[in-house]
Structure 1
């Protein structure tokens, strides 16, 4: 079966070429079903745009060796601005999300958006300047709030007052004339975790640190939700009792009001800040174990709904062994055995999953067939 039905434009051909590194022209003819002339026209457009290149002979064939055609990804990079409540992680990655250079810096995401973004953009510019022979293809911005899939703007977020409606993509795009994509940090984290475990689906990932967020990846696709708020599990209400703790969202009894790193520190009389080492401050505490148990009970409800193959617990608190143990025990206690018998609940081992996830989103948009076809279409004559 050929892929001709999916389209025969240069963009679709590039998408096919990107799936592996050892195509020859003969193989592309067989796979696409295109005529020789059409295929060569499409390839010529991709060669002229610098999107593919020849990479030496395919090997002995008994005649003239065929040239390998490969996606030209050398030197192409993505800049990732990963904003947490009190920390910015800035990374330059290759197109697979592998970090080439990165920097971590303190920040207060509740501060004025222009000032916060200027700080992380300056750090990103310094990282880019330290590279050589690189081409920036896009910027990914991960944020601890809901991002509308319709407008691309941040929706109201309790930890980011004043950010909703702020033109983040335009601000960042003013520094670099490339596509800028925004995504919720926990969902970007989930997409990165899914990339670490190809074929695992559905995958539910939790980022548990100062806040609590989650992301669901099904067959490689990230669930954003109707209005970009999918995964906001920290504001599921655990109690409506009069004495329930007040959450930062203004309601009482939210999971985050009981279990988030922010709440656990406040309960100890500590004002959360960028200097927090949550793992050191809270590891082994009864409050963290209680919070992890509540998180596990919350996840048990999600297990009943989506029946995931794997739950990955990440973030400064999520990957701690006591947290993983408490969550695992609570999920197995509250969900049916037939849902948990083969369910893996594991700590994250990824270095910077949000960077991997954001790079995947950026690359997916920049090299989408429609985007490539638009790039290669000459402007109309005036």
Structure 2
């Protein structure tokens, strides 16, 4: 898997704010910074983070800096413990050059991934690889302070189990839209009572580090894109109790004007007033027909965990019908975005029957020139939202402006 923490700014895409209210502009996977490489210590660190090993001579060639200026940029990075020497570069016929690396050892991110009935809490490294994790039963329709306390208590226990680790930030994935202006959760039908609740501030009261919020489906999409470097555009769908999607274009996550990009579950698939009532209050939404929540309610079953959801619905005809409707909805997105790959994830999206039905519906409804080379696959990532949130947190904490401010 590529390193999803190698990002640069791209204004207007990523919408989260950290607890201090600083806007987190878009982050884009790339091996080369947007501004002049090495023009500040923060920019130089961005170059160093773009691959595993550098020698000073290679940094001189990459940045175009003079030797004296390069040493002036490197010195505060070494003193702050942001870079380190990692042994000799290998035989060169003379004195071996020392390798310089980003000092990511022991630095971790805490990820709280809240689903409708589950909280997945993980401590990850900066690339989003899980070091320790725990899954809890929660109800996001419950009081926000109670849900967050449960998740944060689990996070405390996981952090305490580590040794010689430094927490650099917390990422929170939520099943609702996040305002790009306030950083607060916007009204979400599955999370009554959360609208305007200071999630980031409540978490930062426990851990005084940057706290970033993002929609769970978009975090999922960013994690899937990190697993498929060079794939663009990529559309990832999280299909479980709800239905959401994310679009990643050239490594940048599309969030939309008001933080609601990818909310495909509330596209109306019929104008029939007799259609099922959606939790958003309207009739005929895709989610009212096809979401796991709707499919179980139709059977008179109370939705519970995601594993239970998949077990109950895997072989049902209702799921086939729902997947077909999802595919028809995605066909419109294919016409608009022309993706290279659609990744179907979530407890229902991964099921072979869903992949087959979605693929057939997309190919039937969209033009052949849009679908001829289109890849539609099931997600193989274990916890893509954790990878996505770790990428957002790491990209923010080690953004050039943040590093320069830290060193100043």
- Indicate the residue corresponding to 2:27 in structure 1: none
Contact between 1:108 and 1:274, CA under 8 Å: does it hold in 2? no
Would the alpha carbon gap of residues 3 and 309 (structure 1) be closer, same or farther in structure 2, given more than 3 Å must change? closer
Structure 2 residue aligned with 1:249, among 253, 269, 280? 280
TM-score, with structure 1 as normaliser: 0.97
Task: Please list, as runs of the form range in 1=range in 2, the aligned pairs for 1:6-17 lying within 5 A after superposition.
Answer: 6=37, 8-17=39-48
Structure 2 residue aligned with 1:271, among 286, 292, 302? 302
Structure 2 residue aligned with 1:217, among 242, 248, 257? 248
- Indicate the residue corresponding to 1:115 in structure 2: 146
Quote how far apart the aligned CAs of 1:276 are.
Answer: 5.9
- Indicate the residue corresponding to 1:328 in structure 2: 359
- Indicate the residue corresponding to 2:195 in structure 1: 164
CA distance in 2, matches of 1:83, 1:3: 33
CA RMSD of aligned residues (A): 1.3
Task: Please list, as runs of the form range in 1=range in 2, the aligned pairs for 1:25-40 lying within 5 A after superposition.
Answer: 25-40=56-71
Residue 50, structure 1, aligned to residue 86, structure 2: no
Unpaired runs of at least 5, structure 2? 1-31
CA distance in 1, matches of 2:81, 2:177: 36
Would the alpha carbon gap of residues 250 and 128 (structure 1) be closer, same or farther in structure 2, given more than 3 Å must change? same
Quote how far apart the aligned CAs of 1:33 are.
Answer: 1.1
CA distance in 1, matches of 2:284, 2:48: 51
Runs (4+) of structure 1 moved beyond 2 Å? 1-7, 273-276
Quote how far apart the aligned CAs of 1:64 are.
Answer: 1.1
Unpaired runs of at least 5, structure 1? 378-382
Residue 349, structure 1, aligned to residue 380, structure 2: yes
CA distance in 2, matches of 1:116, 1:54: 43
Q: How many residues align?
A: 377
Specify which structure has the bigger relative contact order, considering alpha-carbon pairs within 8 angstroms and separated by 6 or more residues: 2
Moved more, 2-11 or 192-201: 2-11
Contact between 2:85 and 2:99, CA under 8 Å: does it hold in 1? yes
- Indicate the residue corresponding to 1:74 in structure 2: 105
TM-score, with structure 2 as normaliser: 0.91
Moved more, 271-280 or 180-189: 271-280
- Indicate the residue corresponding to 2:26 in structure 1: none
- Indicate the residue corresponding to 1:99 in structure 2: 130
Quote how far apart the aligned CAs of 1:155 are.
Answer: 0.4
What secondary structure is seen at the aligned counterpart in 2 of 1:225?
coil
Contact between 1:3 and 1:33, CA under 8 Å: does it hold in 2? no
